[in-house]
Amino acid sequence: MKKYLLLLLFLFLFVFESIFIEFLPLKMFGNEVILVPRFLMIAILFFTIFGDVRQGIIAGFIIGLLFDVVYTGVIGIYLVFFPLIAFLVSKVMKVLQTNVVILTFVSILAIALLEFAVYEMNSLIKITNMEFLMFLKKRLLPTMILNLILTVIIGYPLKRFFEKYKKEVMKD
């Protein structure tokens, strides 16, 4: 049962990420800043830590592929970075204490890493010509702040959901 719910959750977040940009009041901030919600990255990280590491990385791989095909059209970038960052965070969390507060901060750092990696890749293949300082000011910082707020809101429910999922899977 929980397995289907998990699929539905990821599918919903996948679509919701784009709806969030299209419809919610991000336009209020005008074109000064670029705010990017990273619900999927947050969910993958929470799933990796509170659910299962192996399944989390596989989820990152599949969602990354879907993200590339549907949204960006350049296959390969998220396909690699979603699972890679999930793997790195799982290693980091082995050293740190596993709780929501610490994982929230690690997630924000992971999202910053993701943004930076995708920025470098996109500059390399000339999808963007944004300067580095402009990227920091216009995109990275606002995105980190937005995602901090989002993680605080959805972090605890996600943790509960993934822990229940893990329990159910362990029983089988």
Partner 1 sequence: MPQFFLNKRLIILLVSIIILVALIGFSLRDREQLTWPEQFLKDTTGFVQHILAKPTGYITGFFEDVKGLTNTYEENKELKKRLDELAQLEVDVQLLAKENAELREMLDKQDSLRNFKPIHATVIARNADRWEELLIINKGKTNGIEKNMAVVTANGLIGKIKSTQQFTSTVQLLSAMDPTNRISAEILRGDEESIYGTIEGYDEKRELLKLKRIPNDAKIEKGQKVVTSGMGGIFPAGLPIGEVVDVEPDEFGLNQTAYVKPGANLYDIRNVIVVEREMIQPGKNDDAGEEEEDR
Q: Which residues would be at the binding site for partner 1 (CB under 8 A)? A: 11-12, 14-19, 21-24, 27, 31, 34, 36-37, 66-80, 118, 121-122, 125-130
Number of neighbouring beta carbons within 10 Å of residue 99: 12
Q: Tell me how far, at minimum, the Cβ of 102 lies from partner 1, in Å.
A: 26
Q: Find out whether 32 and 134 touch, Cβ atoms under 8 Å.
A: no
73 or 95: whose CB is closer to partner 1? 73
Q: Tell me how far, at minimum, the Cβ of 87 lies from partner 1, in Å.
A: 10
Q: Tell me how far, at minimum, the Cβ of 101 lies from partner 1, in Å.
A: 27
SS3 content of the chain, % helix, strand, coil (to 5): 85, 0, 15
25 or 172: whose CB is closer to partner 1? 25
34 or 53: whose CB is closer to partner 1? 34
Distances (CA, A) of 1 to 36, 119, 143, 154, 165: 32, 39, 34, 22, 9
50 or 81: whose CB is closer to partner 1? 81
Q: How far is Cα 138 from Cα 52, in angstroms, rounded to an integer?
A: 35
Which runs of E-coded beta strand occur in 13-133? Answer: none
2 or 16: whose CB is closer to partner 1? 16
Q: Tell me how far, at minimum, the Cβ of 24 lies from partner 1, in Å.
A: 7
Number of neighbouring beta carbons within 10 Å of residue 86: 24
Q: Tell me how far, at minimum, the Cβ of 171 lies from partner 1, in Å.
A: 31
Q: Find out whether 51 and 162 touch, Cβ atoms under 8 Å.
A: yes
Query: What is the CB-side half-sphere exposure of residue 160 using CA atoms within 13 A?
Result: 4
